Amino acid sequence: MRDPIGCMKPITQKYGGTFTFPGDPPLVMTGDPAGIKAVYTADPDTFEPLNQDLGVFVGPRSLILASGTNHRRARKLMMPPFHGARMRAYGEQMVRLTEERAAGFQIGQTVTMSDVLQELSLDVILQVVFGVTERAGMQALAKLLLEITNGISPLLALFPALRREFGGIGPYARFIERRRRLHAALDELIAKGRATGPREDILSLLLAARTEDGQPMDDDEIRDQLILLVFAGHETTAIAIAWALYALHRPENAAVLGRLRDELSSLGPAPEPENLGKLPYLEAVCNETLRRYPLAPAPAPRKLLRPLDVGGYNLPAGTGVVAAISVAHFREDVYPDPQRFSPERFLDRQYSPFEFLPYGGGARRCLGAAMAGYEMKLVLGTLLRRHKLRLASLKPDNGAVRAANAGPRHGVRMIVEERLS
C-alpha cells in the first residue's frame, strides 16, 4: 500500500517474474510476457472474478462482477459506445471542460493537480457518459457520486462483518442511506433518458443497446453499470494525467517537456481536438506515463475454475491468478533502464499486449481504454497549451495507493507560473 510500484522489485529479484502470494486462495502473480499471455488468451470461462465482495459498492449486476455468458452479453452491449471511433464525438466537450477548469487558475497559485483533475474527469463522465450538461444538475449528481466513491470507509471495504446498520447509525448505515439517494437520482436520469429518446451520450446508447435476440438492459442493470463506470473511470484517468504532469516537470525530463511543447505549438492557435489526439509524441508521453506509473499494479485477480499452465507452472483450480503490470512494465530486457521516463521508447518500438498492458487484457480488458487514452491526450495537451506550470516540490514521489489505485502520494502540487496565449 505504501510503495505499490517499487515493492515489486525486491520480490522479482528474489523469486523471478512469476511468484505466489500465500493466502486463501494463494494468488499467483505473473509479470512474464509468456505467463501474461497464458492468462489473457485462455478461454474466459477458465476464470471467475476473485473479489465478489465489491457487489455492495458497485452493484451486484455490474460488468466487473459478471462472469461467463453474463459477462460476454454485458460486454457486447457496452463495448460499442466506448469504441475508439466514437470518442471523437466527445473531444470538444473534453477540451471545453478542461479550459473551463484551467481558466480558474491564478498566476502564482499552488494547485493540487490530482484534486483538480478528479473534478474534471467527473465532469467529463457526467457529460459524456451520463449526458448531464447543465451545471446545477452536474453538481448535484457529482456530490451524490463522490459521497459513495470517496466516502467508503476502508474498514467497510476490508471487513464485511462491519457491514451492519447498528440501529440506523454508524458508517454502514450512512453508506446505505447515501446509496439509496444515489439510486433514486440515477433512476430518475434513466427514466428521463428513456422518455427523451436518442442523444449522443453513452447512457442514451446503453438504453438503446439490444442483444442479438433483441433484449435491452433493464433499468437496475443500467444503474449498476453507471455506478461502475464512475468507480472505474473517474479516479483512474485523473491519476494518470497527474502522473504525466509530475513526470514532465521533473528537472531530469526537461527535454521531454520541451519536445512535447514544440509538438503542441506546431498545431497553431486553435487546433481541432481530433488533431491534438493524433500527435505522436503526445501519445508516446501518455503511454510512457502509463508504463512508468502503472495505476493498477496488479489488477482484478481471477480465480481458476479449472487448471491452467502459466509460464511453465501447472496451477490447480481454485488458485488466484493476476497479470502483474508493475512487474511487466519494469523488465530490463523489454524496457532498458526501466526507471527512466523516456517516451521515445514508444516511437522506436511497438510492444506486444503482454509487454505493455496498462489497461489489463483478454476478455476483461478495460472497457474505457479508448476514452481514457483520448481524454488523457486532450486534457494534458490543453493544460500545457494554456499554462506554464512548475512542481511545488522536487522531492521524488514514489506513489501510494489512493482509494483503489496507485497515485502520486502528495497529489502533484504545482505552481501556476504563466498563462500562455
- Binding-site residues, in ranges, read 366
Cβ atoms 276, 95 nearer than 8 A? yes
Task: Report the nearest approach of ligand HEM to the CB of residue 333 (Å).
Answer: 23
Q: How far apart are CA 79 and CA 87, in angstroms?
A: 12
Q: Which residues participate in the annotated binding site for heme? A: 366
The residue (of 79 and 158) whose beta carbon lies closer to ligand HEM is: 79
13-25: buried (b, 16+ CB within 10 Å) or exposed (e) per residue? eeeebbbeeeeeb
User: Which residues sit at the interface with ligand HEM, rule CB under 6 A?
Assistant: 63-64, 75, 228-229, 232-233, 236-237, 240, 295-296, 299-300, 358-361, 364-368, 371-372
**C-alpha distances in Å from residue 218, one per residue of 197, 215, 223:** 16, 9, 9
Task: Report the nearest approach of ligand HEM to the CB of residue 51 (Å).
Answer: 11
Task: Report the nearest approach of ligand HEM to the CB of residue 9 (Å).
Answer: 20
Task: Report the nearest approach of ligand HEM to the CB of residue 195 (Å).
Answer: 24
Task: Report the nearest approach of ligand HEM to the CB of residue 363 (Å).
Answer: 7
The residue (of 47 and 416) whose beta carbon lies closer to ligand HEM is: 47
In terms of Cα–Cα distance, which of 360, 421, 414 is closest to 392?
414
Q: Euclidean distance between the first and final Cα of the chain, in Å?
A: 42
The residue (of 241 and 416) whose beta carbon lies closer to ligand HEM is: 241
Provide the CA 267 distance to its chain's centre, in angstroms. Answer: 28
The residue (of 366 and 391) whose beta carbon lies closer to ligand HEM is: 366
In terms of Cα–Cα distance, which of 202, 234, 233, 188 is closest to 77?
202
**Which residues fall within 8 angstroms of residue 20, CB to CB, at 6 or more apart?**
26, 27, 28, 29
Helix residue ranges per DSSP H, 79-218: 84-87, 91-103, 113-124, 135-149, 154-158, 171-196, 202-208
Residue 318: HSE in the Cβ half-sphere, 13 Å Cα cutoff: 5
| Other CB atoms within 10 Å distance of the CB of residue 307 | 13
The residue (of 73 and 96) whose beta carbon lies closer to ligand HEM is: 73
Task: Report the nearest approach of ligand HEM to the CB of residue 365 (Å).
Answer: 6
The residue (of 129 and 315) whose beta carbon lies closer to ligand HEM is: 129
Task: Report the nearest approach of ligand HEM to the CB of residue 117 (Å).
Answer: 11
Task: Report the nearest approach of ligand HEM to the CB of residue 417 (Å).
Answer: 27
| C-alpha cell of residue 230 | 464512475
The residue (of 368 and 381) whose beta carbon lies closer to ligand HEM is: 368
Provide the CA 95 distance to its chain's centre, in angstroms. Answer: 19
- Give kind and range of the element (H or E) at residue 37: helix 33-41
The residue (of 232 and 315) whose beta carbon lies closer to ligand HEM is: 232
The residue (of 286 and 416) whose beta carbon lies closer to ligand HEM is: 286
Residue 256: HSE in the Cβ half-sphere, 13 Å Cα cutoff: 25
Q: How far apart are CA 380 and CA 405, in angstroms?
A: 20
Q: Is 332 exposed, middle or buried (0-12, 13-18, 19+ CB in 10 A)?
A: exposed
Task: Report the nearest approach of ligand HEM to the CB of residue 144 (Å).
Answer: 17
Q: Name the residue with cell 502520494.
A: 409
Q: What are phi and psi of 205, to 5 degrees?
A: -70, -35
Q: Name the residue with cell 478461454.
A: 43
